[in-house]
Structure 1
Amino acid sequence: MSKECLQKSSKLSYRFSNSYSAFLHLASELSRFPPYESCDQFIRQFIHHLMIGHKLAECLVDAQTARLVVQEMRDKRITRTVDDSQLVVKNVADDDNHSKKSKSYLRHLTQLRQHLEKHPVFNSKNFRLTPIDSLITTSDESVDCIVFGFLVKNASKINELVVEDNTGRVPLVFTDDTQFRDALVVENSFVIIEGTYDSPKDCLYVESIGQSPPIDLSSAVEVSDGLQRIGRMLVVISDIHLDDENTLDKLKTLLTGYDSMVPIPDAFLFVGDFMSKPCDEVSDFKAHMKNFVKIISKFTKISNFSQLIFIPGFNDIKGNDIPKSAFTVDMFPMTTKLINNYHLATNPVNIYIDGRHICLSAIPYMSKLRKHIIHNSTEDSTELGASIAKLITCNGHLSAGLSHNLHNSLSLFHLPDFVLISDKHMNEDMDSNAHNYTDLVVLPSFSRDNFRFKVFYTNPKHIECSQILV
């Protein structure tokens, strides 16, 4: 394997156990004939197979896992039995993160810091990141420094903010001269701070604060010419209130239209909330879902040939924690008898098709985020959407700014093509592109926004907004 490829491979957010043996498997595959188009293409395909087909323990890639993934890649290149266009629904794992906050926090911090240290600014050695423990143990009265860490409130002091890393924490002091490099700065996020540490007062005076560069490593595989000619269609319908007759009528109109198309859409993503208000009685909820399935089953082509993905809304599953577990089969009476190719997905969920990666989340992101805003210089929807997209991608985490609990399964080190957010407090003007790769797309409420929905096309990659006319 070339030195360049080894360096790029070391940028993977996964850590390699027994790395030499694991790299040997990668080197062997990279040198096979016919050659890969580039080292980047090889790494992207390796990550793609790793993410959709293997469950890793604490992000470790050992020699055996590398061998299995490499063999899958070889089989695909030799026999072409694996269809690149296959739709894969990957539910996020419930890793009981709430009891492992420190462990997941340190892992995420370490991975972000490793990528940051490889950035040209810090790799040049003209600038360096200062660990917090070297500040709080210094014998100097003041130290000019650049600190990378997690911005949180001090639980023991009102209105005090601290920045912490894996070595310690230090209180922050903002002044009228503090420069905010981003329009939006929130607690519960990773930031880079330039400032001066005052040793006698044990505090860091903030000269400037902002987000770090994003981890620019795509998980998507290359899209072949054949797939570019074919293209795929996914219909995304969010906030479908099944207890509203008008919504059901418009839903039938939508399905009637798509069932008559040639070809029909490859997949339908039905996203909650599925009730206009939280339903206390499970039997009532099940009755509405049963009726929903019956409606879909009447459209023969869709119910037999389209992939049907059901994603719970934030209020469909009790509790305020994220991620939300998938619906159980018991919540969908008659599903297995009436429709084919259905998936009960978690919230959030990752979807892969045609080498594209879509991450969909249905949480009240905006209302939760506003509780943690420290600085916001704009209320313009477009600028605010761009700030949120930057916040999520720079932190490499879907819950950036929402909580200090960093759930492992919500990490976004491998930036998706699209992050779809279903949130009634956000509007479509907030759609934004982050760093020319990841698009943040706000899903309209089908029931609240005049029966609007989104349609995703794989090639060329884009999303269109559609509407059932009233």
Structure 2
Amino acid sequence: MSFEAKKRITEIFKLHGLSVRSEGAKYFSELLKPIPEDEHDAWIEKVIDAVQKLPLASTIISQDVLQQAVENVSAAESDDTGDLLQVIDVFKAPKLVYHQERKKFMVAPQTQTSLHGNADNKTALFIERYTRVYQRTVNHDLFRPPAILDSQEEKKFGLVKIEYLLGASSRLENVVVLGLFTQLTEGQHHLEDDTGILNLDLSNTKFHTGLFTFNCFVLAEGWFEDSIFHVNAMGMPPPEAADTTRAMLGNVNYFGGEGTVCAKSVERLREAELENNEAMFVIISDVWLDSIKVREKLEVLFTGYADFPPTAFILCGNFLSAPHGPQQAADLKAAFASLADIIAENPSLIEKSNFIFVPGPNDPGLTNIFPRPPLPKFITSDFEKRIPCAEFVSNPCRLLYCTQEIVIFRENIMTKMCRNCFYFPNNTDDIPFHFSKTIVNQAHLAPLPLHIVPVYWGLDHCLALHPTPDVIVTADKGDPFNTTMNKATFMNPGSFAKTDFSFMVYYPSSRQVEASQIEEKD
């Protein structure tokens, strides 16, 4: 039996162009023993499918590779969905790196990253940002060269590197360049990629939609002469559909959380997501716990949801209305004690809901460099003892609900991007659209100079949006909004205290967003 099973495993793998090592075939045949013989081929095919989705270095399959593939198949076939909501430590988020030989992104091995990087880490930060955007762009239909030339086919564009232009001895027309928009010299604009730097002439440039900020990547089309690139049109690099990105990544867990398999491929989680139509997330920003009015409104909010507990309350800072100097930590600890009293009045929320706290820009912490760690334990420990369903998370934060990927970023990022635009859109009524388009197309939460939004050089991947998540919450002090971009739901709940106690409610089963407000009593 074992010999026949090993032989059959080897034969089927060969049909798929794969070769199994002897110890791997033996391991797999032992797993097949309890399964009826007429089902063996089906299980072998499932494992082969899982193997092909892994980042293979060779067509020779070892026992370790088979074990990982079997685990992925077991996770996908399991009836136990476990906890539907995972709160992911963003500091342990997987990092995607581009392998030039295999022409694809792959999950890098987990390593300990120092917060205080060196110059190489800073260089790598910009190269990795550029590579993500560049690979998305060259894979887009507009830039992929046709297999067969056809005069009636839609016009294709060819990207060129800056070093090609710098080596030209004559005028070049209809040039398209992807690069980082910078200002290296006062009063002059430059375009930079991994091969060189260009001086730009923007005197006759037509800008497309988006917030064009310094240190964002742009597509520039124009003509080059005498070391000057005269830009006729400038736009954002095109987005890539999340399904396309995931298909190229395979079945690996690129988002973070438990397991090695992508949650999108687990059918049981997908079914649970659709069936649980009462699931909802209540998202609030600027929860000023030192404000009596805010605490009164929170009491109304929690009482109102007591009979229909949400999946989670996502409460974003700042948690104090103003800096309190040396007393800030003690005052914040006392404020959380008052919040615990309010929540404790509704035992159903403690039993069935999660309370997720994302720190704000003015909350206590190490620095204002991203990603930011959770609030310090000496502030939150007493609260967590009284409210065991509370979780204090990093900023940005990642949540995984069934198959949906949710990213929460508490920063006045839209405000900062508007302030740092070198070209501001004429249609100021649709700033949320321009903002969302920029974030998705840049594949990053903060496409700004590092002195505006500081980032730990070795942890910049924690702010990357590749593939585009299902939900992106940018908790900004600006007006509330919600929109859809590249099939991703964007929302800003606004400042709870400054917008007459407005907040957002998200329903994952229908992917609907509801703008809500606690009204004043007559």
TM-score (norm 2): 0.72
Cross-structure match for 1:106: 127
Do the aligned partners of residues 447 and 352 (structure 1) sit closer, same or farther apart at CA in structure 2, a change above 3 Å counting? same
Contact 2:211 2:434 survives alignment (8 Å)? yes
User: Aligned with 2:341: secondary structure?
Assistant: helix
Do the aligned partners of residues 145 and 68 (structure 1) sit closer, same or farther apart at CA in structure 2, a change above 3 Å counting? farther
Counterpart of 1:147 (choices 166, 177, 180) is 177
Question: Which amino acid in the other structure matches residue 342 of structure 1?
Answer: A
**Per-residue deviation, 1:387:** 0.7
1:166 aligns with 2:194: yes
Counterpart of 2:216 (choices 189, 194, 217) is 189
2-structure distance, mates of 1:386, 1:452: 20
Do the aligned partners of residues 226 and 350 (structure 1) sit closer, same or farther apart at CA in structure 2, a change above 3 Å counting? closer
Q: How many residues align?
A: 414
Deviations 1:209-230 (A, max 9, x none): 1011112224672663453132
Deviations 1:312-368 (A, max 9, x none): 111114543222211122111423421123211111111111211111111011331
**Per-residue deviation, 1:395:** 0.7
2-structure distance, mates of 1:20, 1:174: 57
Question: Which amino acid in the other structure matches residue 219 of structure 2?
Answer: I
Cross-structure match for 1:374: 422
2-structure distance, mates of 1:228, 1:314: 36
1:259 aligns with 2:309: no
**Per-residue deviation, 1:247:** 0.9
Indicate the percent of aligned positions where both proteins have the same amino acid: 23
Matches within 5 A, 1:305-316: 305-316=352-363
Matches within 5 A, 1:347-386: 347-381=395-429, 383-386=430-433
1:415 aligns with 2:468: yes
Cross-structure match for 1:302: 349
Deviations 1:95-143 (A, max 9, x none): 5376422102112212321221121222125432111112222333546
Matches within 5 A, 1:194-205: 194-198=221-225, 200=226, 202-205=227-230
Question: Which amino acid in the other structure matches residue 270 of structure 2?
Answer: S
1-structure distance, mates of 2:465, 2:19: 26
Q: Could you list the runs of 5+ residues in structure 2 that have no partner in the other structure?
A: 1-17, 29-40, 56-60, 93-112, 147-155, 247-262
Do the aligned partners of residues 396 and 160 (structure 1) sit closer, same or farther apart at CA in structure 2, a change above 3 Å counting? same
User: Aligned with 2:298: secondary structure?
Assistant: helix
Contact 1:186 1:374 survives alignment (8 Å)? yes
Do the aligned partners of residues 35 and 452 (structure 1) sit closer, same or farther apart at CA in structure 2, a change above 3 Å counting? farther
1:123 aligns with 2:123: no
1-structure distance, mates of 2:501, 2:67: 46
Cross-structure match for 2:86: 88
Contact 1:240 1:273 survives alignment (8 Å)? yes
1:221 aligns with 2:264: yes
1-structure distance, mates of 2:134, 2:384: 47
Do the aligned partners of residues 453 and 124 (structure 1) sit closer, same or farther apart at CA in structure 2, a change above 3 Å counting? same
Question: Which amino acid in the other structure matches residue 324 of structure 1?
Answer: R
1-structure distance, mates of 2:131, 2:461: 13
Question: Which amino acid in the other structure matches residue 169 of structure 2?
Answer: S
Cross-structure match for 2:287: 240
Question: Which amino acid in the other structure matches residue 257 of structure 1?
Answer: G
1-structure distance, mates of 2:390, 2:19: 41
Counterpart of 2:390 (choices 330, 342, 348) is 342
Do the aligned partners of residues 224 and 321 (structure 1) sit closer, same or farther apart at CA in structure 2, a change above 3 Å counting? closer
Do the aligned partners of residues 238 and 183 (structure 1) sit closer, same or farther apart at CA in structure 2, a change above 3 Å counting? closer
User: Aligned with 2:373: secondary structure?
Assistant: coil
Matches within 5 A, 1:392-411: 392-401=439-448, 403=450, 407-411=460-464
2-structure distance, mates of 1:402, 1:35: 49
Q: Could you list the runs of 5+ residues in structure 1 that have no partner in the other structure?
A: 1-18, 51-61
RMSD (Å), alpha carbons: 3.1
1:452 aligns with 2:502: yes
2-structure distance, mates of 1:391, 1:241: 30
Cross-structure match for 1:211: 236
Cross-structure match for 1:293: 340
User: Aligned with 1:340: secondary structure?
Assistant: coil
Contact 1:293 1:332 survives alignment (8 Å)? no
TM-score (norm 1): 0.80
1:279 aligns with 2:324: yes
Question: Which amino acid in the other structure matches residue 410 of structure 1?
Answer: L
